[in-house]
């Protein structure tokens, strides 16, 4: 049964692509007197809850910032635990993703992942490639600046046209996200007001929603609150309100 919050959603205004910076695992654990790995483990429950909710709410693409390039600098024990949690998630959730018609995708410098994790990731991507209801993208060993640098390298090595002809649409095709629409909504948990090197090109006109809720506490109701906030906004893409109104009438 739908709750009051969910009943308030306008189905025709559900964003197509939502991205989430999942922040606050460490603080959640610290507040409870637990180790950081316990926070990451609890955060996996939020991943499962939000993926399920997004699929049921009709969101076409969900991208989760799971592990940044900078995260490799964390203590080895924490990194090893994160990689194991990722591997176990992929193994345990593969069949459920297929059942729910969720295609798994991944972006980032994926070959930097441990071999066993990388192989499990590729196997899961292959297993779900025929799923069509939602695309779940995991950003792994990902950095926004690194993505742009990698795109430039690809252009230098393969672009056949004149540099004068290169436009934004062409450039976007060399990004990790070439097959995804630009995000409509960015959600950041834990109250931090920064992008943390995430999708720097793609977020140009994305609506941003920040909640103080720590990621391990984030569940379906919090996602719905973010969607309701999104639906209350007017997206102008650099235009004025009057121009938007005229365009809608046309």
Residue 49 in this model has a pLDDT that exceeds 80: yes
Share of the chain above pLDDT 90, in %: 87
pLDDT at position 29 is 98
- Mean pLDDT rounded to a whole number for the chain: 93
Cα 185 to Cα 50: distance, rounded to the nearest angstrom? 14
pLDDT at position 3 is 77
Domain residue limits, the chain: 11-144+181-249
Per-residue confidence band for 244, with pLDDT thresholds at 50, 70 and 90: low
Cα 229 to Cα 218: distance, rounded to the nearest angstrom? 16
pLDDT tens track for 100-147: 999 999 999 999 999 999 999 999 999 999 999 999 999 999 999 999
Is the Cβ–Cβ distance between 211 and 185 less than 8 Å?
A: no
pTM more than 0.85: yes
Tokens of 168: 């934004």
pLDDT at position 237 is 58
Per-residue confidence band for 250, with pLDDT thresholds at 50, 70 and 90: very low
pLDDT at position 240 is 59
pLDDT tens track for 57-79: 999 999 999 999 999 999 999 99
Q: What CATH architecture does domain 11-144+181-249 belong to?
A: 3-Layer(aba) Sandwich (3.40)
Report how far apart, in Å, the C-alpha atoms of 12 and of each of 58, 231, 245 are.
10, 10, 17
Count of alpha carbons within 13 Å of 231, Cβ hemisphere only? 17
Greatest Cα pair distance, the chain, in angstroms, is: 58
SS3 annotation, the chain:
CCCHHHHCCCHHHCCCEEEEECCCHHHHHHHCCCCHHHHHHHHHHHHHHHHHHHHHHCCCEEEEEEEECHHHHCCHHHHHHHHHHHHHHHHHHHHHHHHCCEEEEEECCHHHCCHHHHHHHHHHHHHCCCCCCEEEEEEEEECHHHHHHHHHHHHHHHCCCCHHHCCHHHHHCCCCCCCCCCCCEEEECCCCCCCCCCCCCCCCCCEEEECCCCHHHCCHHHHHHHHHHHHCCCCCCCCCHHHHHHHHHC
pLDDT at position 55 is 98
pLDDT at position 249 is 46
Residue 56 in this model has a pLDDT that exceeds 90: yes
Task: Return the active site residues.
Answer: 23, 71
Could you give the angle at which helices 115-127 and 76-99 cross, rounded to 10 degrees? Answer: 10
pLDDT at position 180 is 98
């Amino acid at each position: 049964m739908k709750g009051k919050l969910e009943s308030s959603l306008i189905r025709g205004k559900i964003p197509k692509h939502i991205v989430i910076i999942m922040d606050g695992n460490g603080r959640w654990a610290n507040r409870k007197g637990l180790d950081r790995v316990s926070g990451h483990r609890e955060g996996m429950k939020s991943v499962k809850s939000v993926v399920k909710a997004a699929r049921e709410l009709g969101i076409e693409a969900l991208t989760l910032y799971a592990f940044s390039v900078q995260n490799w600098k964390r203590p080895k024990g924490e990194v090893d635990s994160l990689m194991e949690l990722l591997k176990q998630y992929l193994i345990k959730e593969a069949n459920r993703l297929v059942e729910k018609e969720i295609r798994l995708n991944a972006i980032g410098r994926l070959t930097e992942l441990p071999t066993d994790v990388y192989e499990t990731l590729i196997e899961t991507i292959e297993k779900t490639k025929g799923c069509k209801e939602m695309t779940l993208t995991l950003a792994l060993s990902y950095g926004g600046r690194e993505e742009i640098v990698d795109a430039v390298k690809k252009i230098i090595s393969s672009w056949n046209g004149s540099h004068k002809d290169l436009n934004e649409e062409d450039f976007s095709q060399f990004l990790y996200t070439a097959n995804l629409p630009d995000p409509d909504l960015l959600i950041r948990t834990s109250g931090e007001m920064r992008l943390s090197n995430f999708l720097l090109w793609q977020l140009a006109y994305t609506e941003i929603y920040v909640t103080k809720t720590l990621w391990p506490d984030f569940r379906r109701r919090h996602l719905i609150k973010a969607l309701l906030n999104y639906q209350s906004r007017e997206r102008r893409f650099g235009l004025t309100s009057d121009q938007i109104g005229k365009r809608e009438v046309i």
